[in-house]
């Protein structure tokens, strides 16, 4: 599978794209100095969880990459915002039954785009490209198992057309 460009419309079934886009609700603050891109993602820690902020430092993945498993967080959302400026891959499938190869969507995210996976949305763990990459990660801390993993019946090779 070749990655498609990440857009808020294409990603809508899986969550939100976090970017300073004119399509977002934005307005000027701080006496004209600053533009606020407002309320970009539905952060969900559930009724008994707490929202936490972490940094993931990901090693670059080699392409083409074999997707052999997917995971989901049934108790909360998970957001990744790149802070190193490089691109990364986002592999997702709709929340619900464990995905098959035919359910996957693969997106190429720019270094100025973040993503928020909605609660229960299947995704592959971090897929940094080009170099060691840091990401601000906003997700849930709390009781209960919050990471289900599934092995795909068939491996899916993903790549990028650049």
CB of 125 to ligand UGC, least distance (A): 4
Residue 144 binds ligand UGC (CB under 6 A): no
In the complex with ligand UGC, which residue's Cβ is closer, 51 or 126?
126
Please work out the total of residues on this chain that contact Ni ion, with binding judged by CB under 5 A. 1
76 contacts 139 by C-beta, under 8 angstroms: yes
Which positions from 102 to 131 touch ligand UGC by CB under 6 A, shown as an x/- string?
---------------------x-xx-----
In the complex with Ni ion, which residue's Cβ is closer, 35 or 68?
68
Coarse DSSP helix, strand, coil percentages of the chain, rounded to the nearest 5 percent? 5, 50, 45
For 99-116, letters b (16+ CB in 10 Å) and e give beeeebbbbbbeeebbbb
| Contact of residue 126 among Ni ion, ligand UGC, none (CB under 5-8 Å per partner type) | ligand UGC
Give the residue closest to ligand UGC by C-beta.
Answer: 125
Per DSSP bridges, beta strands 105-109 and 4-5 are: parallel
In the complex with ligand UGC, which residue's Cβ is closer, 22 or 143?
143
The span of 35-43, 47-55, 59-67, 71-79 binding Ni ion (CB under 5 A) equals 71-79
- Token duo for residue 140: 């849930």
In the complex with ligand UGC, which residue's Cβ is closer, 20 or 147?
147
CA angle 57, 43, 17 (to 5 degrees): 70
With 0-12 CB in 10 A as exposed, 13-18 as middle and 19+ as buried, what is 68? exposed
């Amino acid at each position: 599978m070749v990655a498609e460009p990440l857009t808020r419309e294409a990603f809508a079934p899986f969550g939100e794209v976090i970017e300073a886009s004119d399509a977002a609700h934005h307005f000027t603050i701080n006496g004209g100095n600053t533009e606020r891109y407002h309320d970009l993602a539905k952060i969900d820690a559930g009724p008994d969880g707490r929202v936490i902020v972490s940094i993931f430092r990901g090693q670059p993945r080699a392409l083409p990459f074999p997707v052999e498993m997917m995971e989901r967080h049934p108790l909360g959302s998970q957001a990744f915002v790149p802070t190193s400026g490089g691109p990364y891959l986002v592999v997702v499938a709709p929340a619900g039954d464990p995905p098959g190869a035919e359910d996957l969507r693969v997106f190429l995210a720019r270094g100025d785009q973040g993503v928020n996976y909605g609660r229960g949305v299947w995704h592959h763990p971090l897929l940094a490209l080009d170099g060691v990459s840091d990401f601000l990660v906003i997700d849930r801390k709390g009781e209960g198992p919050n990471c289900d993993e599934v092995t795909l019946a068939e491996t899916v090779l993903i790549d990028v057309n650049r």
